[in-house]
Structure 1
Amino acid sequence: MQLVVCLKFMSELKSISPLDGRYQNDVKDLSPIFSESALMKYRLIIEIEYLLALSHEPKIKEVREFNDEDRVNLRMIYEKFSEEEALKVKKIEKTTNHDVKSVEYYLKDKLKKINGLKDYLEFVHFALTSEDVNNLAYSLMLKDGVAVYLRSLRTLLKELKSLSWANKNVALLSLTHGQPASPTTVGKELAVFYYRLFRQLDVLSQIKLQGKFSGAVGNWSAQAAAYGRVDWPAFSQTFIESFGLEFNPLTTQIESHDGLAQVYHALIRINNIIRDLNQDVWLYISRGVLKQHKVKGEVGSSTMPHKINPWKFENSDGNLGLANALLSQLANQLPVSKLQRDLSDSTALRNQGAALAYALLALKSTLDGLARLEVDRQAAQAELDNHWEILAEPIQVVLRRLGYDQPYEKLKQLTRGVRITRAALQQLVRGLKIPKPKKDQLLKLTPEKYIGLAAKLVEKYLK
């Protein structure tokens, strides 16, 4: 056990990417989906399921219909695919210098050892181009990776909803253009981020990735040459849809990647919303209206002992930037290909796991940061008490309703750029020539009470 732990730390220390080193534990759920070994496994799934599909096609007489034992034996190849088996594929690749062909040869070697299947070796990867396998594999990887990511995103939504409800009535001084403005509540401001993220989660969840399975230039040319009586588009559609993907009938050698780009762009929007949340929380901490719990043993500064830095939100920001840089490059690069095919998409696609990992890492950092927060109600109240001039807005609006002459202009003259005390504002109200009920209403108004429908908005839209 001690040796295993030692080897793990040595591996982390030698990793080029912090995703496989420092942050490996935070993104470990993505490793079985996006690693090199995982890519091999997804390719094997496509190759084996394709062979099984060929066996079900009655017009392909040369491949008998496989029985239950055959199906179990074939699927066991990818279900029990291990690192040891992945090394065998890499060994083959040293000779072929072609990753997909290496998987094909590996699978053929496996079939030779299964009774009753060695006669069908040449129907492995039959009439396919590498992209037929790769586009489905990469789409399934992204589909599964996004499912992992969405679990954490839903956790963030749950946390934001809880914080919104808990603080729906806690008044907070707004700042527009960095200047004191009409109050809001802590809960309502967090609800804004909940609502934005909820909408984008819905968008991301509904994107259906596409797949192609139509050969070297998208015309099923080799398939039709070998078996002209088979309806290859229909065969391919059934095969692709069996993986929960959408059939793309019109492509070149490569699938157009527009669906992948949709996912990347959806993730970018989600990341930007989380960046906005991080920034606002960071500023609330800076103002003192949010405070962070002390974590025993942690150090805020190597020289200033008193510090508790909002480093979780800063860490999140940095990783969101990295995620968006990769996602943006992927979204711009992949839908563009020279004529029927170039290899630029191949090297780019290998990085979609890193892009999603940075996004997941950032999301988890934000979650950790939120768990350390609480509202400093005294600080929030002190801010409001220092800015009674913000009540100039409701006063001038009430005066407008009463037909008062130029109320906005008169309040502007008295309050613009000036800090007004409670006593000064109430003296102003007492001097107004308006009906007593309205005057009493304005005298009862305080900054913490001037929150409009903030609490009701949380109750209505965050049920």
Structure 2
Amino acid sequence: MPNTEPGRAHDLDAGAPDAGTLPTADVADERDPADDVVLGASGAPTTRAERTVLADVVPPIALGPLDGRYRAAVAPLVDHLSEAALNRERVHVEVEWLIHLTSHHVVPGAPTLSSEEREYLRDVVRTFDAETVAELAETERVTVHDVKAVEYLLKSRLEAAPDLLGEDTVLPRVAELVHFACTSEDVNNLSYALMVQGAVRDVWLPAAWALVDELAAMAHEHADVPMLARTHGQPATPTTLGKELAVLAHRLRRQLRRIGSAEYLGKINGATGTYGAHLAAVPGADWVTVSRTFVEHLGLTWNPLTTQIESHDWQAELYADVARFNRVLHNLATDVWTYISLGYFAQVRGQGTVGSSTMPHKVNPIRFENAEANLEVSCALLDTLASTLVTSRLQRDLTDSTTQRNIGPAFGHSLLAIDNVRRGLAGLDADPAAMARDLDANWEVLGEAVQSAMRAAGIAGVAGMEQPYERLKELTRGRRITGEDLRTFVEGLGLPDDVAARLAAMTPATYTGAAADLVRRYLD
């Protein structure tokens, strides 16, 4: 019977001896006894139980690659999209809400804060550091609620204000204006909007624009370098290397302009978006105006109609645009990888780097392969974010809470890919000679030019121009032709002298149409 013991592989050959038994005496053994390995002579492999528990190592070891081997490339995002950054933005929102309420005299009897008191509050945000993170974590162990921990942190700073500002400070008196009439999502939605806005504008977009500008510079540099095009993987009408790079740069720029014009929405309107607590506490205040001016004061777009949560539609729109940029960049990575494999690009590297662990001659296109993988991971996360965040049961459920904690990895993998593509492009040298060899080996691509000239001549009344496509198909399909073959064919067509001369002078390398001019005219 085949072995079906859990954890053990089934024998592929049901008639073979059980892999867990030694051959019996009646099984022929033709091995040289000298080749036998004494069981146990090399010792048993280590078991997991014998090893150091890496989860207990201090400082902690990262579970994922973004906080491990790729940390340097994505570190700027930590200031925007980490858990600590989220808590800092929460403190920022709570501080500004308190200042907003007191500065606009929204709550009767609340004192006006002095400039020193406002700066004291804003210093809580400015000095948010590792000690603050630890303090919040300790408080949250008691509250089991992250936003409540932030509220208590800020209240503790208000209580301590007299130590720095003197006993006359009014800050302890306004402690109950911290988180006034707010639900946690009032603070969270504004914090996430500010986090993502900062990450995109300060980190991701500058890196993406730098990549596209470098790609555009390459396109201009190689605008006149002729190259055999390939459609469906087959030789096709020639182009230039620069024009093909320009197509990708143009596509990427279009996506970046969309991303650059994204709106970041926010709301602060209470537990179900009705200003219920606000109006119950202070019915005379114009809470809609207070809400709008506060959200706009933060640099966000006010959303007037929400449930408990801001609807996250702006996030879905943004993540779809970033994912689309990723996919165009993925197209660039696969195209450049292919050009490298064709020999159109040579990879330049330092003598100390290793291409293959076993084949010394190789220089692998690892930057582009790494980029492909990270773009795919980023798109998977962005697609999930975009599809999940737009749905919330009735007035609120908590699925968005854990989902939004993956915004950082989504942008991190994209930023890492951008970094890899930039490094990869910087290590390339175009090889015009390799491209020229391919062009010279594919004269049949001029069949398109000849049959098009025949069509035009026929329309102009030149006799003998019938069935141009079919005649060129017979000449070129499924076979290689030489320049001489093509010139002989053209000479026998009876074309006007100027047309025949133009075609006779044409080569695959000169048959690039307006490719170079398109780069110079339309890729700014």
Answer yes or no: same fold by TM over 0.5.
yes
CA distance in 1, matches of 2:444, 2:133: 69
1:131-280 equivalences under 5 Å are 131-147=185-201, 148-280=203-335
Structure 1, residues 159-208: CA drift from partner, whole Å, max 9, x if none? Answer: 11110110000000000011100000000000001111111111011111
Given candidates 63, 66, 71, the residue that maps to 1:24 is: 71
Residues 328/195 of structure 1: CA separation in 2 closer, same or farther (3 Å cut): same
CA offsets 1:59-94 (integer angstroms, 9 cap, x no match): 422311111111111100111111111100110000
**2:365 pairs with 310, 328, 345, which one?**
310
Q: Return the offset for 1:12.
A: 8.5
Kindly indicate whether residue 107 of structure 2 is the aligned counterpart of residue 53 of structure 1.
no
Counterpart pick for 2:488 among 413, 421, 427:
427
1:369 correspondence with 2:421: no
Q: Deviations over 1:408-449 (max 9, x none)?
A: 111111111211111211111122212222111110000010
Distance 1:140 1:130 in 2: 16
Structure 1 residues 268-316: Cα deviation after superposition (integer angstroms, max 9, x where no partner): 0000000000010000011111111132211111111110000000000
Which residue of structure 2 aligns with residue 384 of structure 1? 439
> Greater shift after overlay, 401-410 or 429-438?
429-438
Counterpart CA distance in 2 for 1:64 and 1:134 is 27
Aligned residues: 454
Match of 2:83 in 1: 36
| TM-score (norm: length of structure 1) | 0.97
Unaligned runs of 5+ in 2: 1-56, 163-168, 459-464
Q: Distance in 2 between matches of 1:57 and 1:234?
A: 11
Could you say which residue in structure 2 is the equivalent of 1:393? 448
**What percent identity do the matched residue pairs reach?**
45
More helix by share: 1
Shift of 1:326: 0.6
**Alpha-carbon shift at residue 13 of structure 1 (Å):** 7.9
Q: Is the 8 A contact 1:11 1:21 kept in 2?
A: no
Residues 320-367 of structure 1: CA deviation (Å, up to 9, x unaligned):
011001100000011100111111000000110110011000011001
Q: List structure 1 runs of 4+ shifted beyond 3 angstroms.
A: 10-13
1:240-264 Cα shifts (integer Å, max 9, x gaps):
0112211111111000000011110
Higher relative contact order (CA 8 A, sep 6+): 1
| Distance in 1 between residues matched to 2:71 and 2:340, nearest whole Å | 29
CA distance in 2, matches of 1:90, 1:59: 32
Please state whether the residue corresponding to 1:14 is helix, strand or coil. Answer: coil
Is 420-429 or 451-460 further displaced after alignment? 420-429
CA contact (8 A) 1:187 1:458 kept: yes
Return the letter of the residue paired with 1:145.
A
CA shift, 1:113, in A, is 0.8
Q: Please give the per-residue CA displacement for 1:109-149, whole angstroms capped at 9, x wherever unaligned.
A: 11001132111111100110000000000111000111110
- Mapped partners of 2:65, 2:109: distance in 1: 50
TM-score (norm 2): 0.85
Which of 400, 412, 429 matches 1:345?
400
Whether the 8 Å CA contact 1:50–1:239 is kept in 2: the answer is yes
- Return the index of the structure with the highest Cα Rg: 2
Name the structure 2 match of 1:3: none
1:84 is the counterpart of 2:131: yes
